[in-house]
Chains A and B, each alone.
Chain A
Amino acid sequence: MQTPAPVGYAKATSVSDALALLKKHGEDSRIVAGGHSLIPMMRLRIAAPEALIDINDVAELKGISIEGNEIVIGAMVRHAEVLSSPILAEHYAIFREAEKLIADPIVRNRGTIGGSMCQADPSEDLSAVGAALKGSVVIQSASGSRTVALRDFHEGPYMTKVAQTEILTQVRFPIRPGAGSAYEKVERRVGDWPVASAGTYVVVSNGVVADCGIGLTAVGAEHFCAPEAEAFLIGKEPTEENLSAAAQLAADACNPFSDQRGPADYKKHLAHELTLRALRRSAAASQGA
């Protein structure tokens, strides 16, 4: 039976308490949120932290709210809450569409948005959503907090701007009136990680694309986004031809590799097709179709 290596444990009561505990337990201590990435890794002994700092009871990390022009999601908000949130559903269909395809309902009862961002798996679905919507995260340290754009957050696979002595406290998304959004994923079986996924938002105004965002995961897109494809679409009519050309630019910028989930050329094909489908539906939703 696979059991984690011996580990210390402390339950944090607040963000400042968690930061103090991280300091006290030293550089091999780690935050545990939902534990649905970290505990499987500890069981397989891919991860062996010295101590876990449990933030499940930290009230200030919970809840979804609106502050000014932004939606603010606490780091401890679980997948199930993202899936069922009326605030998110009102502004961005992409959250519901993505969450319905992340793992299964039982895993979604535990896994969190903060944990998903910090895990930074190259196939993380919420990373594509965050990049598509050009969201940001708030990172807290003992000396203060800073905001980092999600398109600037990942330093590489499983690596982010969150240092060991820091905690991700919030994920924030700008509200865009009139935006339509969508998420498309191909998985080998229900509840699996993606072979490829694409998420987009489009704002159509006066018949042309005024604003858009494209996020991709599992296909080797740098920072999970496709800025050239976005730039191409701005000011153009959302015709099938233009959307497909943009999707092709997005696919061209991807660098997938072959693995047990599929060969690289298939994933590249999916990057185009899924981006196109998401753009089509986003543009239609923005135009009230």
Chain B
Amino acid sequence: MQITLTVNGTEYTRDVEPRMLLVHFIRDELLLRGTHWGCDTSNCGTCTLWVDGEPVKSCTMLAVMADGRAIRTVEGLANGAELDPIQQGFIECHGLQCGFCTPGMMMTGRWLLDNNPNPSEGEIRECISGQICRCTGYKNIVSAIQWAAEHPATSEVTS
């Protein structure tokens, strides 16, 4: 089945099997390997990307269901060479160790800050509660998102 969608502002048309999961389409058809894939039960959240402005676990959506929609992945966070504050926050606060959970954490963190520029620690923890990190113990991820809240971008990047 032929689908057309935009990913980080670029339009793509591909012929896919309806059973293909969106995460595999993004990684294996478009070769955007920033989005990770980590479980079979929709629990880990590392596959999180945006569909029409909202984070979605892309392992739990078929690529054909994304036909006509606008996708934003972790590759779409930076504005050229300028990192998004959420990315800078993960650097500043050592928000990652192995980095496996990081793309999903950053996509969710960016969404949270777009809707709630000054979240409490509790709100941050709740927002990333559908995402699992095996390394950091979450503390530095929370700090990274807080850092980004305290250092908003001067020029707003649009999805």
Report whether B62 and A106 are in contact in the complex, using a CB–CB cutoff of 8 Å. Answer: no
Q: Mark contacts of B12-32 with chain A using CB atoms, 8 A cut-off: 1 yes-contact digit, 0 otherwise.
A: 000001111100100000000
| Known interface pairs A2-B40, A36-B42, A104-B130; A109-B54 also in contact (CB < 8 Å) | yes
Report whether A191 and B130 are in contact in the complex, using a CB–CB cutoff of 8 Å. Answer: yes
B62 cross-chain contacts in A, Cβ below 8 A? 4, 9, 32, 35, 39, 52
A-side interface size class: 20 to 34
Report whether B1 and A9 are in contact in the complex, using a CB–CB cutoff of 8 Å. Answer: yes
- Does B65 touch A at the CB level, under 8 Å? yes
- Does B121 touch A at the CB level, under 8 Å? no
B-side interface size class: 20 to 34
A142-B153 Cα distance, complex, nearest whole Å: 53
Report whether A56 and B65 are in contact in the complex, using a CB–CB cutoff of 8 Å. Answer: yes
Report whether B40 and A44 are in contact in the complex, using a CB–CB cutoff of 8 Å. Answer: yes
Q: Mark contacts of A75-117 with chain B using CB atoms, 8 A cut-off: 1 yes-contact digit, 0 otherwise.
A: 0000000000000000000000000000111110110000000
Report whether B40 and A110 are in contact in the complex, using a CB–CB cutoff of 8 Å. Answer: no
A52-B108 Cα distance, complex, nearest whole Å: 29
B131 cross-chain contacts in A, Cβ below 8 A? 104, 106
Q: Which DSSP category, helix, strand, loop or mixed, fits chain A's interface?
A: loop
A52-B126 Cα distance, complex, nearest whole Å: 32
Interface residues of A in 31-67 (CB under 8 A from B): 32, 35-36, 39-40, 42-44, 52, 54, 56
Query: Separation in Å of the B138 CB from the closest CB of chain A?
Result: 11
Q: Mark contacts of B54-91 with chain A using CB atoms, 8 A cut-off: 1 yes-contact digit, 0 otherwise.
A: 11110111101101000000000000000000000000
- Does A190 touch B at the CB level, under 8 Å? yes
| Known interface pairs A3-B24, A6-B17, A40-B41; A191-B129 also in contact (CB < 8 Å) | yes
Report whether A190 and B18 are in contact in the complex, using a CB–CB cutoff of 8 Å. Answer: no
Report whether A107 and B57 are in contact in the complex, using a CB–CB cutoff of 8 Å. Answer: yes
A5-B62 Cα distance, complex, nearest whole Å: 12
Query: Separation in Å of the B103 CB from the closest CB of chain A?
Result: 13
B5 cross-chain contacts in A, Cβ below 8 A? none
Report whether B60 and A3 are in contact in the complex, using a CB–CB cutoff of 8 Å. Answer: no
A7-B41 Cα distance, complex, nearest whole Å: 19
Interface centre among B48, B59, B130 (most CB of A within 10 A): B130
- Does A8 touch B at the CB level, under 8 Å? yes
B19 cross-chain contacts in A, Cβ below 8 A? 3-7, 42
Report whether B60 and A7 are in contact in the complex, using a CB–CB cutoff of 8 Å. Answer: no
A44 cross-chain contacts in B, Cβ below 8 A? 40
Report whether B42 and A54 are in contact in the complex, using a CB–CB cutoff of 8 Å. Answer: no
Report whether A39 and B20 are in contact in the complex, using a CB–CB cutoff of 8 Å. Answer: no
B20 cross-chain contacts in A, Cβ below 8 A? 3
- Does B113 touch A at the CB level, under 8 Å? no
A interface residues (Cβ-Cβ under 8 A, vs B): 1-9, 11, 32, 35-36, 39-40, 42-44, 52, 54, 56, 103-107, 109-110, 190-191
- Beyond known contacts A7-B19, A32-B62, A107-B42: 5 more, CB 8 A cutoff: A3-B20, A39-B62, A40-B40, A56-B65, A104-B45
